[in-house]
Amino acid sequence: MFFTNYSQANFKEKLINKLKTTNTLYFDFIQTIGGKEEIGNCHIKYPLLMKCEYPQKKKIIITNGKKLAIVKKRYKKIYYYPLKKTPLFYLLKKENILNLVQNNEPMIIDSSIIKYELVEKNSNKLKIFFDKNSLELVGWQMIDAYSNEVSFFLKNTETNILIKNEIFKIPREEDL
């Protein structure tokens, strides 16, 4: 019993330290919504900055700290949402993930994955997955604005690379 508690506390401490020292992420992803897969790549810079590109769909999702914009180049259209009202707000604010790990036990720990779940007052539910061995963020699951389950799985992750703030600038529709 003591060993289990000690190793879990030790593991939690390592995960917290890993999160605290992570400032940027770059990764390829596979996103599944309603059984349909999309692929692309993302840059995340804490706090609250993200840019994900979906080359096949000619779509970009950008957060600039306040707004989330879905840019559909094919249709020359941009859709805006307040970032605070999306589950991504919780994911892109590192303190939220740190609080989740510090104040909660994982929902699941298996041979390769550690899963935490965050449920907010406004019923936003976010599941966050870490690799058990590397402690890298490997994915998340959430419900989108249209009540679809969205699964996001990361691969080829690079941590703490230089990412310039300019890439998080939301374009204007007339520039598409």
Q: Is 105 part of a structural domain of the chain?
A: yes
Letter for the amino acid at 147? Answer: S
Per-residue pLDDT tens over the stretch 38-85: 999 999 999 999 999 999 999 999 999 999 999 999 999 999 999 998
DSSP E strand boundaries for 100-148: 108-109, 113-119, 125-131, 137-143
Q: Is 1 part of a structural domain of the chain?
A: no
Q: Is 88 part of a structural domain of the chain?
A: yes
The CATH number of residue 50's host domain is 2.50.20.10
Model pLDDT, residue 2 = 38
Whether this prediction's pTM lies above 0.75 is answered by yes
Mean pLDDT over the full length of the chain: 89
Number of structural domains, the chain?
1
Q: Is 2 part of a structural domain of the chain?
A: no
Neighbours of 94 (CB within 10 A): 16
Domain hosting 99: range is 9-175
What percent of the chain has a predicted confidence (pLDDT) above 90?
68
82-88 long-range contacts, CB within 8 A, separation 24+: 83/48, 86/145, 87/124, 87/125, 87/126, 87/142, 87/143, 87/144, 88/50, 88/63, 88/142
Q: What is the mean pLDDT of residues 1-14?
A: 62
Round to whole Å and give the CA distance between 47 and 170.
16
Q: Is 4 part of a structural domain of the chain?
A: no
Q: Is 91 part of a structural domain of the chain?
A: yes
Q: Is 23 part of a structural domain of the chain?
A: yes
Residue 123 confidence class, pLDDT cut points 50, 70, 90: low
SS (H, E, C) 47-69: CCEEEEEECCCCEEEEEECCEEE
Q: Is 3 part of a structural domain of the chain?
A: no
Model pLDDT, residue 7 = 61
Peptide bond between residue 47 and the one before it cis (omega within 30 degrees of 0): yes
Residue 8 structure tokens: 């879990």
Model pLDDT, residue 124 = 64
